Amino acid sequence: MKKDKGMVNLTQDKGITEKESEQAKHNLNRLNDRLFKYIFASEQHKENLIRFLNDVLNDRDRVIVDIEYIDREIDPPILDGKLVHFDVRAKTADGRIFHVEVQIADEHDFLKRGLFYTCSSYTTQLTIGKHYDELKEVVFIGVLNFRIFDDKPGVFHSINKLLDVENHKCYCPDLEMHFLEIPKLRELRKSPEKMTGLERMLTYMGTVGGTEKLSQVAEYDTDIKRILRLEEKFIQNPETWVGYLKRERAQVDWEHYVEIRESDADARGMARGMAQGITQGITQGITQGITQGITQGITQGKMETAANFLSMGVDETTISKATGLSLEEIQKLRK
């Protein structure tokens, strides 16, 4: 496979030119797994994650001051269980667990996956000898580059909790799931000074409004400006930049695979539908044919019986009673 020019330069440990750097920043995918983890899952950059988590919570009673990054993989609690792997996973000093998951394409299972991840972090807190009151809050945050709640067109930030069905109170606040739909944010078109902190952070993540809008946000938000400077270091580093390019290529390949898979599924569904339609049509035709044949046979038998009675001189009224034919039908038969 032919390598692109940028890939060749970087693998030779050469820095990219200023022009190439500007072009890279212009086309940067900020939801790329390598770049996202560089900005939000690196110990030396943890102030970015703290800022983001506080923006999501937006709660004075739950402000995060410091975090500790913890293992992004959880061993399954059951034999042959599914391994759980997070993009970002951290814990606060009071034991609360936060994990962030970035999803580029809709694979139609994210709600279930988010719940599975959240419950995994909750149930694996306790070991033998510990008590249930030691369980800490788990907060799941999904950053989505697609719509997931079509019935909430004007809401890009949805919060799911366990609520009582009668009074809608939350008696068990330990599980909390946030879903951030970036495509919906693109429709708001706010100026930076009118945005919330979360809106500005998501504007950065999704490059909402393009690089020009992002520059305006950075002038208003010093944290975003700092993050953009970190991106320059990321781009200039051959190792991180090559990792970014590989991830982009893998993502394109995966989306192509999903597209083909869904196309094949549609084709298979259409074929099944056609086959079922043909089978149903044949079955109905056979059933109707049999029913019609039986009906015609019974009618023909009655007519033959009536004809025999007429040849024997039996009166028409008696024949009608015996065969079920009308007097008019018997009279036509006599003629």
CA distance 85 to 106: 18
270 in any annotated domain: no
Q: What is the pLDDT of residue 300?
A: 78
Residue of higher predicted confidence among 189 and 31: 31
- Judged by average pLDDT, the poorest of 2-6, 21-25, 307-311 is 2-6
- Domain that includes residue 119, residue range: 5-264
Residue 137 lies in a domain: yes
For residue 225, the one-letter residue type is K
User: pTM to 2 decimals?
Assistant: 0.70
Cα separations (Å) of 23 from 31, 192, 243?
A: 17, 24, 18
Q: What is the dihedral of CA 158, 159, 165, 166, to 10 degrees?
A: -90
Q: Say if 33 falls within a structural domain.
A: yes
**For residues 287 and 295, is the Cβ–Cβ distance under 8 A?**
no
DSSP-derived 3-state class of residue 278: helix
57 occurs within a structural domain: yes
Residue-wise pLDDT tens digits, 290-333: 667 667 777 777 777 777 777 777 777 777 777 788 888 777 77
User: What pLDDT is attached to residue 9?
Assistant: 43
Domain membership of residue 313 (yes or no) is no
What are the tens digits of pLDDT across the range 116-132? 999 999 999 998 899 99
Give long-range contacts, CB 8 A cutoff, 24+ apart: 127-135. Answer: 135/174
Tokens of 154: 């004007």
Find the angle CA(280)-CA(281)-CA(283) to the nearest 5 degrees: 65
Tokens 């330069």 correspond to: 9
- In a domain, residue 126? The reply is yes
Give per-residue pLDDT as tens, 163-204.
999 999 999 999 999 999 999 998 888 899 999 999 999 999
Q: How many domains does the chain have?
A: 1
CA distance 289 to 247: 62
User: Residue 238 domain-assigned?
Assistant: yes
Q: Which residue has the higher pLDDT, 4 or 331?
A: 331
Is 300 part of a structural domain of the chain?
A: no
pLDDT, tens digit, for every residue of 202-243? 999 999 989 899 999 999 999 999 999 999 999 999 999 999
